[in-house]
Amino acid sequence: MLNVSTVIILKPISAVWDFYNNPANYILWLSAFSHIELVEGKLGEPNSVSNFYYVYNKREMKLAETICDLIFQSKIETIQENEILKTEMQVVFESLDASSTRIVVTTNTKFKVLTFKLLSFFLKKSFQKRLDNDFFRFKEILEASSF
């Protein structure tokens, strides 16, 4: 299930990159995000593994995230997975000029459980909406701040 979201932020790429890569900010813009714990490596660096915790309808969901590739102020590729799904995500940062940055987020989610595989057609819209809402909130918060 492929989803893509694009947002243009009226901030320089350095501010956008720093805000995105600061785990303390995740709670501000990621839907249902609860907390993160480092499992292996150094947080935010390639080959590191962290557990991301989300709370949906009073139920906690854990996703193990591995940072597969990171090019400073350019792109981050991760895999998030648990027993139900695996999501490959690529976030590309592009400086448009000195004071604006485009982010293109591409996610490819594959379900491991038959029930969810069958429902994936119906879930695509909700996954796209969450992705769009998260990055719109990211944009709003960052543009309104002094980061």
Q: Which residues are CB-contacts of 37 (< 8 A; sequence separation ≥ 6)? A: 50, 51, 53
Q: Which residue in 90, 33, 85 sits closest to 67, CA to CA?
A: 90
pTM of the model: 0.93
Per this entry, what is the length of the chain?
A: 147
Per residue in 60-77, pLDDT (tens digit) is 999 999 999 999 999 999
The CA distance from 13 to 63, in Å, is 28
Q: Work out whether the CA dihedral 54, 56, 58, 60 comes out positive or negative.
A: negative
Mean per-residue pLDDT over the chain, rounded = 95
Give the count of beta carbons closer than 10 Å to the beta carbon of residue 101. Answer: 24
Burial of 13 (0-12, 13-18, 19+ CB in 10 A): buried
Per residue in 7-40, pLDDT (tens digit) is 999 999 999 999 999 999 999 999 999 999 999 9
Per residue in 106-145, pLDDT (tens digit) is 999 999 999 888 888 889 999 999 999 999 999 999 999 8
